[in-house]
Structure 1
Amino acid sequence: MNSKGYSFRLLSLEVIGFVLAILFLFPFYFLVVNSVKSFRDIVANTANLPKEFIWSNYSQAWEIMQYPKAFTNSLLITVLSIIGIILFSSMAAYRMVRNPSKLNKVLFVLFVTAMVIPFQAVMIPLVKLGGMITIGGEAMIGTMWGLIICYFGFGVPLSIFLYHGFMKSVPLEIEEAAVVDGCSTYGVFWKIVFPLLKPMTVTIILLNSLWIWNDFLLPLLWINSPDLRTIPLSTYSFFGQYMKKWDLALPALIMGAAPIIIFFLALQKHIIEGITAGSVKG
Structure 2
Amino acid sequence: MKREQTNWLVTLLIALGSIVVILPLYLTVMIAVKSPQELAESVFALPRVWQWSNFSEAIRMTNFFHVFRNSAVITICSLIFTLLTNSMVAYAVARNMDKRLFRSLYYYFVSALFVPFPIIMLPLVKEMSALGMNNQFGLIVLYVVYGISFNMFLYVGYLKSIPAELEEAAMMDGASVWSTFWRVIFPLLSPINATVGILTCIWAWNDFLLPFIILSKPTMATLPLAQYIFQSQFSVQYNYAFASYLMALSPMVLVYLIAQRWIISGVLRGALKS
TM-score (norm 2): 0.91
Counterpart in 1 of 2:221?
Answer: 229
One-letter code aligned to 2:187? P
Q: Which consecutive unaligned segments of at least 5 residues does structure 1 have?
A: 134-138
Pairwise CA RMSD of aligned residues? 2.1
Q: 1:115–1:12: structure 2 CA closer, same or farther, 3 Å change rule?
A: closer
Q: d(CA) in 1 for partners of 2:268 and 2:136?
A: 38
Give the conservation status (yes or no) of the 8 Å contact 1:199–1:275.
Answer: no
String of CA shifts for 1:74-121, please: whole Å, max 9, x gaps: 111111112222111111111111123211111111111111111111
1:247 and 2:239 aligned:
yes
Q: Is the partner of 2:179 in helix, strand or coil?
A: helix
Counterpart in 2 of 1:136?
Answer: none
Counterpart selection for 1:129 from 127, 130, 149: 127
Q: d(CA) in 2 for partners of 1:154 and 1:277?
A: 22
1:62 Cα offset (Å): 0.7
Q: d(CA) in 1 for partners of 2:143 and 2:227?
A: 21
Q: 1:276–1:20: structure 2 CA closer, same or farther, 3 Å change rule?
A: closer
Q: d(CA) in 2 for partners of 1:15 and 1:128?
A: 50
1:91 and 2:83 aligned:
no
1:267 and 2:265 aligned:
no
Q: 1:273–1:119: structure 2 CA closer, same or farther, 3 Å change rule?
A: closer
Q: 1:277–1:221: structure 2 CA closer, same or farther, 3 Å change rule?
A: closer
Counterpart selection for 1:140 from 117, 133, 138: 133
Counterpart selection for 1:118 from 108, 113, 116: 116
1:191 and 2:188 aligned:
no
1:79 and 2:71 aligned:
no
Q: Is the partner of 2:6 in helix, strand or coil?
A: helix
Q: d(CA) in 2 for partners of 1:271 and 1:118?
A: 25
Q: d(CA) in 2 for partners of 1:146 and 1:273?
A: 32
One-letter code aligned to 2:123? P
Give the 5 Å matches for 1:92-111: 92-100=89-97, 101-111=99-109
Q: 1:153–1:27: structure 2 CA closer, same or farther, 3 Å change rule?
A: same
Q: d(CA) in 2 for partners of 1:228 and 1:163?
A: 32
Counterpart in 2 of 1:70?
Answer: 67
One-letter code aligned to 1:8? T
Q: How many residue pairs end up in the alignment?
A: 269
Q: 1:270–1:161: structure 2 CA closer, same or farther, 3 Å change rule?
A: closer
Q: Is the partner of 2:114 in helix, strand or coil?
A: coil
Counterpart in 2 of 1:48?
Answer: 45
Give the conservation status (yes or no) of the 8 Å contact 1:162–1:200.
Answer: yes
Counterpart in 2 of 1:149?
Answer: 141
TM-score (norm 1): 0.89
Q: d(CA) in 1 for partners of 2:204 and 2:265?
A: 25
Give the conservation status (yes or no) of the 8 Å contact 2:207–2:224.
Answer: yes
Give the conservation status (yes or no) of the 8 Å contact 2:93–2:106.
Answer: yes
Q: d(CA) in 2 for partners of 1:220 and 1:271?
A: 28
String of CA shifts for 1:30-59, please: whole Å, max 9, x gaps: 001111101121132111111211110000
One-letter code aligned to 1:240? S
Bigger mean CA deviation after superposition, 49-58 or 18-27: 18-27
Counterpart in 1 of 2:170?
Answer: 178
One-letter code aligned to 1:248? Y
Give the conservation status (yes or no) of the 8 Å contact 1:96–1:104.
Answer: yes
Give the conservation status (yes or no) of the 8 Å contact 1:130–1:146.
Answer: yes
One-letter code aligned to 2:49? E
Q: d(CA) in 1 for partners of 2:208 and 2:60?
A: 20
1:211 Cα offset (Å): 1.4
Q: Is the partner of 1:47 in helix, strand or coil?
A: coil
String of CA shifts for 1:192-241, please: whole Å, max 9, x gaps: 11121112111111222211111111111112322111000111111122
Q: d(CA) in 2 for partners of 1:195 and 1:102?
A: 28
1:68 Cα offset (Å): 0.9
One-letter code aligned to 2:124? L
